[in-house]
A and B are shown apart, each in its own frame.
Chain A
Amino acid sequence: MSQINAAHRQEIEARHAHLLKDKPLQRFMPLIVLIATLLYGLYAIWFFDIPRIVSEAQWVRMGLYLRQWVSYDVQPEFRLGKDGITIRYPRFSPLGDDPHPDWVINRPDGSKFIPFGSGGVTVATTGTTIVARGETVHIDVTSGKPVIQGKAPSWMTVYDEDVLADLGFAGDVSLSADRVKVRKRFFGWPNFLFDTGSPFFGKSYGETARLILSGERLDPSQSNLSLAFDNIWNNATWQHGDVWIKLAQTVVMAFLGTLLGALLAFPLAFVAARNTSPNRFFGSCIKRFFDFLRSMDLLIWSLFLTRAFGPGPLAGSGAIFLTETGTLGKVYAEGLENIDRKPGEGVQSTGASTLLTHRYATMPQVAPVMAGQTLYQWESNIREAATIGAVGAGGIGLKLWEAMRTNSNWANVAYMVLLTLLVTFLFDVASSRLRQKLMGTDHRA
């Protein structure tokens, strides 16, 4: 290899000066963009009042809600009377109407013991002893007010009339003079198959299976199998039937909208594309029409159609159809404008009509791309459909939104999210497989 000496190098530099020296603007462009981005970031922090929002944020809630995604609690209330302790459970407790959970242990002296990890809570008419986090605290109620014996640990909050002991994920205990409320948290989704009203409630899997296969009819009008299915489908807590129907609505909305959009966009794209358009002016009008449909946005269409058809999947399908006509029309037209003209010329030279030219020269080139794009849109519309549901356009969105707004049903939210993720993944895999088959390889789409 020959070495380049200094003189030679300078000569080369002089010859290609314009390549080696950037224009000042070009040279500093990345820096300018970076500084502008930083400045904008600062502005946005001020604009959205981020410091205040972060300082007022209640991150505790995040922990509370997230733990509710995967767990449930049971809240027995111990009423301290003169003649002993009575236990009440709130209505709609996941344990059913008359629960006798084995974790409430009756002591011979009349007190009750609820184990929490290695420690536990002992409730007696005179006071409550909590053993948790390596400490033992006794709270006396004989004076008509809860009084902590000794120093209150940091996980205990003392109010005027009551004391709250936070035991972390496991639950909490709230004490007043005449009652002790215990919240005990369990991992899992309670009553996922059968709700507390079902005759199958509280039975083990083996027993349920035996009942279904060979047991006496629990309901004389139908077999145990159909009764079990009916009970699961109409489970009051989890509403499996409703959730699955809403999920199906979401998929159907995306399917109908995309299919109809594709059917309408297909012929229109031939009119719109520059190289296949019968009339330039008309073509550009159609293109603006596509832009209009896209820009008016899914939201506006769904709001209008919800007014017209009433809330439900028809409104959602219609909204996706209108938006999708615009999007697919644009994409199809772009695909048509990028075809190779030679096959078309070849077919035309044999005397074929325009229709036949498109059939034998244009379609083979664009069909795989179009089909791939359409599949992709369908898949992404499933996600969109889940969102517009919340404004009343049908599907799982509204159900999700309602469950979140009540702030108590986060386990249901988790269930619906899980199902939505599952459906999205399935369609993701299916559509990318199909697309790979259609296009040979699948890099960009």
Chain B
Amino acid sequence: MVSSAVSHASPVVHAVHTQWSRMIATRRLYTGLGLLLLAYAFVASVQFADESNAGHFFDRLPHLFDFTSWLMPREWSDVWRALFDLPSLHDTGTEEYNFDVGRVYVWGSVYIPEYFELMFVTLNVALVATLISFFVAVPLSLLAAQNLSPSRPLCFMARRVLEFLRAFPTIVIAGLFAAVLSIGPVAAIIAVSLHAIGAIGKQFYEVAENIDMKAHEGVGAVGANWFERMRFAVLPQVLPNYLSYGLLRFEINVRSSTILGAVGAGGIGEELKLSISRGFGAKTLAMMLLLFLTVVAVDQFSAWLRRRLIGDEIIHQHV
């Protein structure tokens, strides 16, 4: 259709058209090559992963749903009983059904069910880590923003520090501090906060680099020093976005502190890992349910708060 129209047109149009088709052809070639490369990398990766795995994919595939056999509790009420630490009907003293053992008594016969307590610990780890990282990342991000930093070397240093914290494997920090502070949630707090400083610090300085500099210039023109310029010209602009990223980080921190829990830092992660590896159906389901509801609640709450802070502006959930 296009080519027949072009063939009757002037030589200039014809030249443009051939040039255009040539570009399209090159582009398609590159896209094709890229896709081919991707496909090759994919197949190679699958083979590599399959070879070095303990069980092979197609051998194990029929067993994928084996977990249903242990995960399905004998009686569905057991899930509720496990969740609220009520005695099970199957309780014969084995660890699989001793739901009422873990009760945390607060006052008389009033108790907090074990899993709620563990979830609470994990949430607190995440919250404390988020607060620490927020208060450290705010000043660091102002130093790392190219348009605000008081000096170039300081900007460079702050960026390298943030990069280092972001890339350093969380698990090593957790392990190191577990050795120093004894295994427990405090090591997890330190590990999660250090990583979070790097992660939100980067998001923060990217926000700070996109602000409207007029307020900054105005405050500077009346003789404000660096701190005053940050306080009166920059923070009012960036704070809503900072808080929003901080909330997103809280969501992520809840997950990471659960994972760190599973490698020994306490909280619900550790209990969940034990329960899954031993195949305790009711307990696992109870904890999964609790974790799922908590994560959803945290997500919803933070989304609501973010909407109030910055309206409907989309912030990408990262790192």
Contacts and interface: CB of A to CB of B under 8 A. Distances in A.
Contacts of A397: 169, 171
Contacts of B10: none
B58 to A, nearest CB: 11
B136 interface: no
Given A252-B49, A255-B45, A299-B273, 5 more contacts: A308-B60, A311-B53, A391-B262, A401-B171, A444-B210
Given A255-B45, A299-B255, A443-B206, A312 B54 contact: yes
Contact of B168 (A41, A330, A401, A417): A417
A394 B49 CA distance: 9
Given A380-B318, A383-B167, A315 B53 contact: yes
A110 B49 CA distance: 60
Contact of A299 (B168, B186, B262): B262
Given A48-B186, A400-B169, A309 B175 contact: no
B291 to A, nearest CB: 7
Interface in B47-78: 48-50, 52-57, 60, 63-64, 66-67
Interface of B is mostly: helix
A268 to B, nearest CB: 17
Interface string A271-290: 00000000000000000000
**Interface residue range, chain B:** 35 or more
Interface stretch (B1-9, B85-93, B176-184): B176-184
B185 to A, nearest CB: 6
A417 B210 CA distance: 34
A295 B292 contact: yes
Interface residues of A, number: 77
Nearest to A245: B52
A300 B291 contact: yes
B109 interface: no
A62 B163 CA distance: 23
A59 B181 CA distance: 8
A428 to B, nearest CB: 7
Nearest to A335: B314
B55 A309 contact: yes
Contact of B52 (A249, A256, A380): A249
B54 A252 contact: no
A44 B291 CA distance: 21
Interface string B160-173: 00011001111110
The 10 closest A-B pairs by CB, nearest first: A312-B53, A310-B54, A310-B55, A404-B175, A424-B167, A314-B53, A313-B49, A295-B295, A390-B263, A303-B276
B67 A307 contact: yes
Interface string B267-282: 0010011001100000
